Amino acid sequence: MTHTTPKHVQPITLVIFGASGDLTRRKLIPALYVLYKQKLLPPALKIVGTARRPLSDEAFRQQMEEGIRAFSRIKPQPGEPELKAFLSLLYYIALPGGEGDYRQLREKLDSLYAAEASETLPDSRLYYLATPPEAFWPIISNLGKAGLITPVDDPQRWTRVIIEKPFGRDLQSARELNQKIHTVLDERQVFRIDHYLGKETVQNIMAFRFGNSIFEPLWNRRYVDHVQITVAEKVPVGRRAGYYDKAGALRDMVQNHLMQLLALTAMEPPASFQDKAVRDEKVKVLKALQIMTPEQVAKFTVRGQYTAGVIDGQPVPAYQDEPGVAKGSRTETYVALKLFVDNWRWSGVPFYLRTGKALKMRLSEINIVYTRPPLALFKHEWHHGHVEGDQILPNRLTLRIQPDEGIRLRFGLKVPGPEMILHPQEMEFCYSKVFNAEPPEAYERLILDAILGDSTLFIRQDEVEASWEFVDAIIAAWQEQLDLPIHPYAPGSWGPEAADRLMERDGRHWIPEDQHSGQNEPRKG
């Protein structure tokens, strides 16, 4: 997992398919600008945007400059020469579709370095597919037919392809897409991206566990009561309704983001931090997931769909009324799951996962809740001045991914006075405060890793298929058991009450605690 300045002597061309979309303007080009400004990009790099609409190089550069000024983590200064130099690296070619257009693309790419007599080596190519998923295979197929994919063992140049999510919509389609892609690309050339893996706090899960000897011995069934993973979104589906209604929260978020967070949290220590060793351990976790029976799906999953309401004073239409949503849609905008990892480390420890749209706040975090001491020796103060008897709050480790990336550890301290009363206290680390800077954007790290050929933070074929195998069983049970309810919930809430009951049946509660009235922690019965 290196993160150093590339030492490439050969030129590199980064080609972005779907360059007219929001992802390119808001994330990819601003990330590349920051990498350029920090001198982390190879010295001989050119960036080519492609999309269906006709556009000149200058018009493309102007659009991307607007994106950089609006969305870059590091804002350019007025008259900054580095911004002008970076924009000069950008080119554009319209690509309406068809094999003939890809031959034109090849000619355009071949011509970029032709005028530079100093460049004698052929350029390597990184293709970024920032497109809808139905375009993945046609693009890769046409790249192969146009001779734009070099063999994986070519000694002079390399070819890599970054593919955005979603990768398939079930296990069968994911396998079929993998099989097709492998007729053109070697698996080592495929970089399936999940931007969550580029976030500093996600990477810090491994650093925190395996770089500090006081935590790893406690990271197992003997000391952990349960694990919670929350990825909450405040925004409703909005303009994504057409896509979202065919996907739902389980496909859109659980199969990729939450499964990756689960794998990193539960994995065994890798033999090294080389890409194969890390991904091998993640796959073992995903393959150890207990596949749910239809009866378990009915008991351990909760689906929700938001109704009409208000968030921050702004009206939110019911999901059913969003443009692009089918009448009577049973697509879930919220899902909560209880699942188990059937291996030696985690046997019997429940993992609770939840994600949803139009919730109370934007929040992604992992909570490791530890078991209580075997003997309740102390009274416990849950709130200042309010003693709750001997129900001791358990220790808790929180890894917050967004917003305010950081780590919190809760433990009990004695309240001053004659009685032995414990008060819960938190010790907190915040990236922006400690390092006096915001952490890098996820795409900065991931694009650079792809250029370097480091696939550690990208998703391998067997990871995709293992996560789909788990998710498919849930989808199949939902489709077969049409009487399973889809619970309504108000926008700006934490989701349906049925999700709270999923936890309460086990004597536990969701974190953060402000979603509850009075009761704010697990009580095991």
Q: Which helix (H) or strand (E) holds 509?
A: none
Token readout for 241 is 């309704």
List of residues 6+ apart from 121 with CB closer than 8 A: 9, 10, 11, 156, 157
Burial 5-34 (b: 16+ CB within 10 A, else e): ebebebbbbbbbbbbbbebbbebbbbbbbb
The burial class, CB within 10 Å (0-12 / 13-18 / 19+), for 119 is middle
Strands in 379-383's sheet, in edge-to-edge order, are 386-387, 379-383, 421-430, 406-414, 396-402, 363-370, 224-232, 350-356, 334-340, 301-306, 486-489
Residues 143-148: contacts with CB under 8 Å, at least 24 apart: 143/102, 143/184, 144/183, 144/184, 144/185, 145/99, 145/102, 146/99, 146/102, 146/103, 146/105, 146/106, 147/106, 148/102, 148/105, 148/106, 148/109
Q: How far apart are CA 341 and CA 290, in angstroms?
A: 6
Cα-based torsion angle of the residue sequence 305, 254, 140, 27 in order, rounded to the nearest 10 degrees: 80
Q: Is 108 helix (H, G, I), strand (E, B) or coil?
A: helix
Q: Is 467 helix (H, G, I), strand (E, B) or coil?
A: helix
Q: Is 289 helix (H, G, I), strand (E, B) or coil?
A: strand
Longest CA pairwise span in the chain (Å): 85
Instruction: Mark out the alpha helices in 155-239 (DSSP H runs).
Output: 171-181, 200-210
Q: Is 297 helix (H, G, I), strand (E, B) or coil?
A: helix
Size of the chain in residues: 525
Token readout for 220 is 């197992």
Q: Which of 8, 257, 380, 509 is catalytic?
A: 257
Does residue 516 carry a catalytic annotation? Answer: no
Tell me the helices (H) and strands (E) count for the chain, helix number first.
Answer: 16, 19
Question: Would you give the DSSP letter of residue 415?
Answer: P
**Catalytic residue ranges:** 257
